[in-house]
Structure 1
Amino acid sequence: MKKQKLLITRQIEDNLVKQIQEAIPDWDIIMTNEPEQWKLHVQDTTIILGWRKFFEDSSMNALDELKWVQTWSAGVNSLPLKDLEGKDITITSANGVHSFPISETVFALMLSLTRNIHTYIKNQVKKKWDGADIKLEMHGKTVGVIGVGAIGKETAKLAKAFGMKVMGIRHSGKPENYVDEMYTTDMLNEVLPECDYVVITLPLTEDTYHLFTKEQFQLMKNSAFLINIGRGEIIKEADLAAALSAGEILGAGLDVFEKEPLEESSPLWEMDNVIITPHTSGSTEHYDKRVVEDIFIPNLKRFLAEKKLEINVVDYKKGY
């Protein structure tokens, strides 16, 4: 009988590979980051651990044996979802892996903007001693968490350590621990005027594309800070730049952008009230371990038992 095959498209630690081997001792496990090797194995692969654009560009018609894709990212908007759905392929994401590092980045950005740390760092390079324009604090303020998934939950939890009021938005409107008031997405414009900080943790879908435009920025307090660690396309970037320039909002911490890398011509680079990070908020020393041990192996055991996968299964209708 022909062995089933798992294709791992990146190099991971030996101890993680060993755990996978123990779960599927009778399978062929191919681990390679070489596209030429992917080409040799993709036609008879049952599971892909780590989707690559290569498969979409070169091999979509060759995925006849493929049953399941475990992505290495939380977002799946870059995958050919219609093609994969048409082949009845299950997708599971890396949602949840990023909760700790991204929530830490959210608060690093919030604190830096509030306490003017980013300006002091620039002054340090110039050996400039300037303590002007420092008066704000976070304690007791209101934060709006736009997208209360795994990252949003952890963000809300940390906000409580600062005595903050947390207003949350999620598609279902279902209540959540550490969130004082929960709203549905269609109530966004009602929530924004109440927030001192607005944190975007949403996935990119047809519904969230350009969810934030001129209208939303004008509804926000002119003393509010915007943090986006979701997807760049959720914000209409030109409108954000205009709002920052006009003082409609006080500042922004941005890890994601409509086009990445952020173009050198973008006015955001030159703004003193903006902190830019290069889409690194989810980076962590524990990334591979969490994908394999917390998501992939538990799902793999269910797959082997011919049971429905439970962790991070992508809903094609929702797009995440």
Structure 2
Amino acid sequence: MTKSIVCMQHLSSGQQELIRAAAPGYTLTLGDSRNPDLELLSGAEIIIGWGKGVSDTLLRQDSPLRWVQAWSAGVEKLPLEAMKERGILLTNASGVHAEPITAVIFSFMLMFTRNMHTAIRNQQNRRWHSDGQESELTGKTAVIAGTGSIGSETARIAKAFRMKTIGVSRSGRAAQGFDKVFTTGQLKDSVSEADFIINTLPITDETQGLFDADIFSAAKQGAYYINIGRGATTNTDDLISALNSGQLAGAGLDVFETEPLPEDHPLWGMEQVIMTPHCAGATDRYADRIVDIFTRNMKAYLESGSPSLNLVDYSRQY
């Protein structure tokens, strides 16, 4: 009997062929996450992506669903408890974002060290000016919260700038590219060394509001804060206070507690803040990379009954 894979995102014909070649005995059908076909989904063993209003269909008691490949690295918006109870395998898109997000992180850091954000404003006002405060990344210290694919790629590139790299992770285990690694419980100690505090963390019960006044007050005076992980890992009011007091010299933000950021939010008017609209991970190579993860996982799934890459631990929520 033919089994069913449904992808809720657009795939090119070449990407579809790669999946079909990796999944003999399965059909592949494209769905629409914005307007899901519940009848189509009701017979799926494997889902790539997710859609609004599909939970009741996919998580019913007699559903054939066995594996969900999320379209994002973060999985906090999925019905994790229900999926765990049903024994559904969940893999995420970790690794897809490393290159584009690392580029955004260094865009923020280079703009701050070279005062490019003020240069752009001066250009718009036809003003020829430098305050003489330009610096460089060489010799600076980056404290990177999260030593996964994004954090590791950021550390690797930082070494090309001859920076010192300090990681922060749940385990505190040594990781390639990092001079040393602290545990999350040592975050307050680690930020005291940072010229740049870089937050790449997912949102979990443990990371909710982790970056708050206590952490910012422990930071080196004049450090910069960069968040490309999840907005809810940061107490925004505490961040604004640290920026206004000068404890933090600036912030590069791609994610926010409320998205879209309200038009009257004070962050919009802060000249020491650079913002992007949660697009740090966007790239024209996104689908190619997810298909690569999926096809490699499909091989493992056919051989052992379980994908081998990016398998989410429900107890950790990532």
Q: TM-score per shorter chain, which class? A: over 0.9
Paired position in structure 1 for 2:129: 130
Paired position in structure 2 for 1:268: 267
Letter in 2 for 1:302: A
Paired position in structure 1 for 2:98: 99
Structure 1 residue 222, shift from structure 2 partner: 2.0
Superposed counterparts of 1:116-195, under 5 Å: 116-195=115-194
Name the CA distance, whole Å, in 2 between partners of 1:49 and 1:317: 22
Name the CA distance, whole Å, in 1 between partners of 2:192 and 2:92: 33
Give unmatched runs, 5+ long, in structure 1. Answer: none
Letter in 1 for 2:55: E
Paired position in structure 1 for 2:199: 200
How does the TM-score come out when normalised to structure 2?
0.96
Could you say if the C-alpha distance between residues 313 and 319 of structure 1 is closer, same or farther in structure 2, counting changes exceeding 3 Å?
same
Letter in 2 for 1:298: R
Letter in 2 for 1:308: S
Deviations 1:109-137 (A, max 9, x none): 01101111011112211211111253322
Superposed counterparts of 1:11-90, under 5 Å: 11-33=10-32, 37-56=36-55, 60-61=59-60, 64-90=63-89
Q: Report the 3-state secondary structure (helix = DSSP H, G, I; strand = E; otherwise coil) of the residue aligned with 1:6.
A: strand
Q: Report the 3-state secondary structure (helix = DSSP H, G, I; strand = E; otherwise coil) of the residue aligned with 1:250.
A: strand
Match among 311, 314, 317 for residue 316 of structure 1: 314
Maintained 8 Å contact 2:33/2:52: no
Deviations 1:18-64 (A, max 9, x none): 11111224322111226555212111100001122332376543771
Could you say if the C-alpha distance between residues 136 and 28 of structure 1 is closer, same or farther in structure 2, counting changes exceeding 3 Å?
same
Residue 296 in 1 paired to residue 291 in 2?
Answer: no
Residue 224 in 1 paired to residue 220 in 2?
Answer: no
Q: Report the 3-state secondary structure (helix = DSSP H, G, I; strand = E; otherwise coil) of the residue aligned with 1:148.
A: coil
Maintained 8 Å contact 1:214/1:240: yes
Paired position in structure 2 for 1:111: 110
Structure 1 residue 266, shift from structure 2 partner: 1.3
Maintained 8 Å contact 1:43/1:62: no
Structure 1 residue 159, shift from structure 2 partner: 0.7
Letter in 2 for 1:168: G
How does the TM-score come out when normalised to structure 1?
0.96
Deviations 1:262-286 (A, max 9, x none): 1112111100100010011101111
Maintained 8 Å contact 1:10/1:33: yes
Paired position in structure 2 for 1:245: 244
Q: Once superposed, what is the RMSD of the aligned Cα atoms?
A: 1.5
Q: Report the 3-state secondary structure (helix = DSSP H, G, I; strand = E; otherwise coil) of the residue aligned with 1:275.
A: strand
Moved more, 194-203 or 129-138: 129-138
Name the CA distance, whole Å, in 2 between partners of 1:4 and 1:233: 39
Name the CA distance, whole Å, in 2 between partners of 1:292 and 1:99: 16
Maintained 8 Å contact 1:102/1:282: yes
Q: Report the 3-state secondary structure (helix = DSSP H, G, I; strand = E; otherwise coil) of the residue aligned with 2:248.
A: coil
Name the CA distance, whole Å, in 2 between partners of 1:319 and 1:241: 28
Deviations 1:220-243 (A, max 9, x none): 122100000000000000110111
Q: Report the 3-state secondary structure (helix = DSSP H, G, I; strand = E; otherwise coil) of the residue aligned with 1:30.
A: strand
Question: How many percent of aligned residue pairs carry the same amino acid?
Answer: 39
Q: Report the 3-state secondary structure (helix = DSSP H, G, I; strand = E; otherwise coil) of the residue aligned with 1:33.
A: coil
Letter in 2 for 1:251: G
Structure 1 residue 197, shift from structure 2 partner: 0.5
Deviations 1:203-260 (A, max 9, x none): 1100000001111111112210000000000000011011101111100000000010
Letter in 1 for 2:21: E
Name the CA distance, whole Å, in 2 between partners of 1:143 and 1:24: 43
Maintained 8 Å contact 2:254/2:280: yes
Letter in 2 for 1:141: K
Q: Report the 3-state secondary structure (helix = DSSP H, G, I; strand = E; otherwise coil) of the residue aligned with 1:212.
A: coil
Q: Report the 3-state secondary structure (helix = DSSP H, G, I; strand = E; otherwise coil) of the residue aligned with 1:61.
A: coil
User: Aligned pairs, how many?
Assistant: 318
Could you say if the C-alpha distance between residues 247 and 70 of structure 1 is closer, same or farther in structure 2, counting changes exceeding 3 Å?
same
Find runs of 4+ consecutive structure 1 residues off by over 4 angstroms. 34-37
Maintained 8 Å contact 1:42/1:63: no
Letter in 2 for 1:313: L
Letter in 1 for 2:218: L
